[in-house]
Amino acid sequence: MKPSKRRIPLTVRQLIELDGCTRCEICKDECTVYRLVKEDPSINFPQSYAALIRGFRQIIRKQHGLLASIFGSNLPKERLTAYAEGLFRCTTCGRCRTFCPVGIDTRSLGIAIREYFVQQKIYPKNFDLMKDGLKSNFNVFNLPYVERNFWGDYAPTPVNFLGQSEQVECEAVYFVGCMTSYSPTIQDIAVATTSLFDKVGLKYICLGSEEWCCGYPLILAGMRDEIEWLKKHNVERVKALNPKIVTFSCPSCYHTWVHEYAPHLPGVRLMHSTQLLYEMIKEGRVKAKPLEMKVTYHDPCDLGRNSGVYNEPREVINSIPKISFKDMPNTRDKSWCCGGGGDVEMVDENLPYKLAKTVLDEAEGTGAEALITACGQCKRIFLKAVPKHGKKLKVMDINELILKSLE
């Protein structure tokens, strides 16, 4: 349900949820960030999701309650700013939602509270830089938009970019996403995904410099109203190609397209690459060769908990003969966040790498030599966190793993 443009941008359900929190604090020890605060009190984060809710309830009362409507609000701006410091350190992973006995949709509520703070003009300044980047170059990094397809230079065979390829038939559009297109440490995911499509004969097209950010970072920032122009552009480009499928290696792009774009693309299947791969495996189109490797799998929040895609990645991994797969203790809706969600890196650049340790510890405990994930942002965070925490794990995207098994 989308919030209205009321003074308090919360749905009726979310307003009820604010009052519905019983303060049981079950979410406290299940919070990705709070469990770290116990070890490092310098991290500016409230004691639990309940504390976030409690704080926001007080803010609403003081800003919009009866007394405030008669005498005006006397809530000092410093109080709002202090609250926002914690709010924008939540990774919006939604893990607390899994454990909440009342069923509070903590992730959606957290994003709605962010929208309130954006209305109050209290939000991290880096969000304005991100907005500038989107306006100038249609990507969150504000890198030249013409460089969006530069990752194609690393591909072993020419990538089918819109306007550069002679291919006219288009089975699937591969929407690469800002992070994978521009971030040097994970551009190899785009290379692996297109190489994989070439190997199995899937007729795909990438939009290249005509691909614009899907708008997800703006949604997380509490700026959902600002994504419409990006959405309109991407929908028009896809419609012109008339594909059967739009596929994504980025779970956050996938989640955004499913929730925001789908009504504009009737008849087009929106599939994360793991769903597409699983379908092609079942059709016999992808036949993995034996690979002797011990692996575990990290459920990315936006693919697993927030989109319900748990089985397909595991089926894809287990389709590889001789692979040894073992799950971590916390998986599926209980999986820990890699630390890279919620635009948190724009607020506290070191926090994601500290948060990643929880997953790395669990992955190491399985005896795996490689931690497989299905998200560029997870891979990017883990790659940097592995040496920081003295780990020896390899980190691979699932498309890279399957490609390796085909070679």
**Among residue numbers 107 through 166, which ones bind ligand SF4 (CB under 6 A)?**
107, 110
| Binding residue (CB under 6 A) for ligand SF4 from 1, 16, 67, 102 | 102
**Does 359 contact ligand SF4 by CB under 6 A?**
no
Q: Are strands 245-248 and 172-175 parallel, antiparallel or unpaired?
A: parallel
For 229, the token pair is: 């122009």
Closest CB to ligand SF4 among 84 and 396? 84
Radius of gyration of the chain (CA): 22
**Which residues lie below 8 Å from residue 297, measured CB to CB, with a gap of 6+?**
313, 314, 317, 325, 327, 328, 331, 371, 372, 373, 374, 398
| Binding residue (CB under 6 A) for ligand SF4 from 8, 10, 18, 27 | 27
Give dist(CA 19, CA 236) in Å, integer.
Answer: 42
| Smallest distance from ligand SF4 to CB 120, Å | 20
- Among candidate residues 49, 45, 46, 58, the one with its CA nearest the CA of residue 23: 49
**Does 95 contact ligand SF4 by CB under 6 A?**
yes
| Binding residue (CB under 6 A) for ligand SF4 from 8, 10, 18, 33 | 33
Closest CB to ligand SF4 among 22 and 242? 22
| Smallest distance from ligand SF4 to CB 391, Å | 22
| Smallest distance from ligand SF4 to CB 62, Å | 21
| Smallest distance from ligand SF4 to CB 27, Å | 3
Query: DSSP assignment of 143-182, as one string?
Result: --GGGGGGGGGGSSS---BTTT------SEEEE--HHHHH
Closest CB to ligand SF4 among 230 and 359? 359
**Does 96 contact ligand SF4 by CB under 6 A?**
yes
State the virtual CA torsion across 113, 253, 301, 390 in degrees, nearest 10.
-110
SS3 296: strand
| Binding residue (CB under 6 A) for ligand SF4 from 10, 50, 202, 303 | 50
| Smallest distance from ligand SF4 to CB 11, Å | 17
**Does 25 contact ligand SF4 by CB under 6 A?**
yes
Helices marked H in 10-162:
12-20, 34-37, 49-64, 66-71, 77-87, 95-99, 106-119, 126-137
- Among candidate residues 339, 336, 310, the one with its CA nearest the CA of residue 99: 336
Number of H helices and E strands in the chain, helices first, is: 18, 8
Closest CB to ligand SF4 among 108 and 234? 108
State the virtual CA torsion across 27, 28, 29, 30 in degrees, nearest 10.
30
Closest CB to ligand SF4 among 225 and 333? 333
Closest CB to ligand SF4 among 29 and 236? 29
| Smallest distance from ligand SF4 to CB 45, Å | 8
For 84, 257, 312, the CA distances from 332, given in Å and listed in that order, are 29, 21, 12
x/- site string to ligand SF4, residues 319 to 358, per CB under 6 A? ------------------x---------------------
* Residue with tokens 């966040």, as numbered in its chain: 337
| Binding residue (CB under 6 A) for ligand SF4 from 8, 9, 18, 32 | 32
| Binding residue (CB under 6 A) for ligand SF4 from 22, 157, 242, 318 | 22
| Binding residue (CB under 6 A) for ligand SF4 from 8, 14, 37, 49 | 49
x/- site string to ligand SF4, residues 189 to 228, per CB under 6 A? ----------------------------------------
State the virtual CA torsion across 212, 214, 217, 218 in degrees, nearest 10.
90
How many residues at the interface with ligand SF4, by CB under 6 A? 26
SS3 353: helix
| Binding residue (CB under 6 A) for ligand SF4 from 18, 36, 104, 159 | 104
Q: Which stretch binds ligand SF4 (CB under 6 A): 66-74, 88-96, 138-146, 326-334?
A: 88-96
Give dist(CA 293, CA 233) in Å, integer.
Answer: 42
249 CB-contact burial (10 Å; exposed 0-12 / middle 13-18 / buried 19+): buried
Closest CB to ligand SF4 among 30 and 188? 30
Residues at the interface with ligand SF4 (CB under 6 A):
21-27, 31-33, 49-50, 90-96, 100, 102, 104, 106-107, 110, 337
